[in-house]
């Protein structure tokens, strides 16, 4: 009798648990549909996850599904009124056709400039000198040289920072500069740099250097903000030198990883007025997570830029940023405007190509309108499902006569868009939903023929190490690959 009663109680408890899970799932579905800012595809994807795998789906949603739109992540900074004033002035001048940069490229693409001003407060800067790095050895050699020459401060922000041979060598330089009295601040993403701990920076912090994590996890392994990461890579030195692009800090970015081999990326070193925009972005990200000593910018952090004679005549740059806390997908809009404005050519390099349908339609539109479209992806996946989603999407574009290249030399990590051989976007944002809507990203939009030509020269060299994907090759893919593509396509809105 007692055993029977225990059996009834257990059955009742189990039933109540199932009912509770159903109610939670149902409430989550309602919140996704009515309260959260998502595309219809992403909404349906999460509904399927929650209904078909209720317990596991609930955990997945907690880790990956929650949005942070409208959360006050970034505090009000004292330099925001300065930015607003610059943006308003430039918008008025563009409206009156009185804003002249002496640069015909930006004059031809004034709508892109206006979009970034309106949508992203991306004020236009000029008198910039740019160096393009396509190889990790060259980039980090120059970065180390600039660190050694620093006089006042060094601000370092990376998604991935590893204490391997490369990371240790950079860290030792930073420790030495801190010892010399240079102010060193390091901000890294807690998930991207999950092998890092505060004790790794013990020597630096003892000397007065400062280190902070972005969206840190308070539980082992589990991070409740796993889906929203700071993917930006920024270095600012003395307020006069800035770095932005695709390279993280780790030995694999020097091409030493056995699986990926040579690492192909794009990164910019900038001197000139644009460094102020990079400084603003670093400061905003830093102050959002540093609770004790807020970084206050003064003339030492934002010095007046002296225009060197060797600086490129007029090189307008806008620094675009985006994140899940914003109502608009700013960098995606910048990409779309560039693509739809192209008259002659579009060149894209990306490790991940899983955009939404509007983006794919834009590319199809320009390709079928006679614009030469070139897209290059790697042949080595670092995230298998993402790769097969990428492969499916580029395969779909073959019917539009787009040129699709599979990079074979190593791993292609560059996030680059060049149109008409004169406007370039280089930065951290991939061509996928994660970069457009979920991660915090940063890109430089550059109106400069010389940089575009240098980038396209590197692209043409990459084509020599690539296989061109044709419809015949794509149609011969195996049944297993087709199945992988189908699965990746189904869940692509949440990848």
Confidence (pLDDT) at 326: 82
What the block records as the tokens of 464 is: 């020599």
pLDDT of amino acid 333: 96
**Distance of alpha carbon 156 from alpha carbon 265, whole angstroms:** 19
Instruction: Work out whether the CA dihedral 123, 129, 134, 137 comes out positive or negative.
Output: negative
Residue 356, both tokens = 């939404």
Catalytic residues: 231, 233, 238, 413, 415, 420
Residues 469, 402 contacting (CB under 8 angstroms): no
Q: How far apart are the first and last CA of the chain?
A: 52
> How far is the CA of 165 from the CAs of 148, 251, 493, in angstroms?
18, 7, 37
Q: What whole-number distance in Å separates Cα of residue 392 and Cα of residue 388?
A: 6
CB of 270 closer than 8 Å to CB of 128? yes
Are the beta carbons of 186 and 160 closer than 8 angstroms? no
Question: What's residue 56's pLDDT?
Answer: 66
Report the predicted TM-score, pTM, of the whole model to 2 decimal places.
0.87
Q: What is the pLDDT of residue 168?
A: 97
Q: What is the pLDDT of residue 61?
A: 65
Task: Determine the pLDDT at residue 289.
Answer: 80
**Per-residue pLDDT tens digits of the chain, which is 495 residues long:** 555 445 557 677 767 776 776 676 666 666 655 555 556 666 666 666 666 666 666 666 666 666 665 556 677 788 888 899 999 988 888 877 766 666 788 889 999 999 999 988 999 998 899 999 999 999 999 999 999 999 999 999 999 999 999 999 999 999 999 999 999 999 999 989 988 988 999 999 999 999 999 888 766 555 556 678 899 999 999 999 999 999 999 999 999 888 889 999 999 999 999 999 999 999 999 998 876 678 989 999 999 877 655 555 579 999 999 998 887 899 999 999 999 999 999 999 999 999 988 999 999 999 999 999 999 999 977 677 788 888 889 999 999 999 999 999 999 999 999 999 999 999 999 999 889 988 999 999 999 999 999 999 999 999 999 999 999 998 998 888 888 877 877 766 655
Residues shown for the chain: 495
| Confidence at residue 481, expressed as pLDDT on a 0 to 100 scale | 84
pLDDT the model gives residue 4? 45
Distances from the Cα of 352 to the Cαs of 164, 336, 338, 400, 406, in angstroms? 26, 16, 19, 20, 12
CB atoms within 10 A of CB 166: 22
Element of type H or E holding 318: strand 317-322
Alpha helices, H only, 180-273: 202-206
């Amino acid at each position: 009798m007692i055993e029977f009663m225990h059996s009834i109680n257990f059955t009742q408890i189990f039933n109540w648990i199932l009912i509770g899970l159903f109610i939670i799932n149902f409430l989550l579905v309602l919140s996704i549909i009515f309260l959260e800012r998502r595309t219809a595809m992403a909404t349906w994807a999460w509904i399927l996850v929650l209904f078909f795998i209720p317990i596991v789906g609930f955990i997945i949603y907690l880790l990956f599904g929650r949005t942070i739109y409208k959360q006050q992540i970034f505090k009000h900074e004292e330099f925001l009124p300065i930015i607003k004033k610059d943006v308003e002035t430039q918008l008025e001048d563009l409206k009156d056709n009185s804003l002249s940069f002496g640069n015909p490229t930006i004059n031809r693409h004034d709508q892109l400039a206006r979009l970034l001003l309106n949508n992203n407060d991306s004020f236009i800067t000029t008198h910039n000198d740019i160096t393009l790095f396509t190889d990790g050895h060259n980039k980090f050699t120059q970065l180390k040289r600039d660190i050694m020459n620093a006089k006042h401060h060094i601000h370092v922000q990376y998604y991935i920072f590893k204490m391997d041979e490369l990371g240790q060598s950079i860290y030792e330089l930073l420790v030495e500069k801190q010892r010399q009295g240079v102010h060193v601040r390091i901000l890294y993403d807690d998930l991207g740099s999950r092998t890092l701990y505060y004790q790794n920076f013990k020597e630096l912090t003892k000397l007065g250097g400062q280190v902070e994590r972005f969206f840190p996890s308070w539980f082992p392994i589990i991070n409740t903000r796993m889906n929203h990461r700071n993917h930006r890579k920024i270095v600012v030195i003395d307020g006069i030198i800035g770095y932005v692009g695709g390279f993280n800090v780790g030995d694999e970015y020097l091409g030493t990883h056995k699986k990926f081999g040579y690492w192909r990326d794009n990164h910019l070193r900038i001197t000139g007025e644009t460094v102020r925009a990079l400084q603003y972005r670093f400061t905003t990200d830093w102050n959002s997570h540093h609770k004790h000593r807020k970084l206050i910018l003064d003339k030492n952090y934002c010095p007046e830029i002296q225009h060197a004679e060797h600086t490129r005549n007029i090189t307008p740059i806008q620094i675009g940023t985006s994140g899940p806390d914003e109502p608009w997908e700013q960098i995606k809009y910048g990409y779309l405007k560039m693509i739809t404005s192209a008259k002659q050519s579009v060149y894209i390099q990306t490790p991940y190509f899983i955009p939404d349908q509007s983006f794919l339609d834009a590319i199809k539109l320009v390709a079928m309108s006679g614009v030469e479209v070139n897209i290059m992806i790697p042949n080595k996946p670092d995230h298998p499902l993402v790769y097969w989603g990428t492969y499916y999407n580029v395969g779909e574009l073959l019917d539009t006569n787009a040129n699709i290249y599979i990079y074979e030399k190593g791993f292609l990590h560059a996030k680059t868009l060049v149109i008409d051989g004169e406007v370039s976007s280089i930065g951290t944002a991939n061509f996928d939903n994660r970069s457009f809507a979920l991660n915090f990203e940063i890109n430089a939009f550059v109106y400069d023929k010389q940089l575009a030509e240098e980038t396209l020269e590197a692209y043409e060299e990459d084509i020599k190490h690539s296989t061109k994907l044709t419809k015949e090759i794509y149609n011969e893919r195996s049944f297993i690959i087709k199945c992988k593509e189908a699965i990746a396509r189904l869940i692509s809105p949440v990848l």
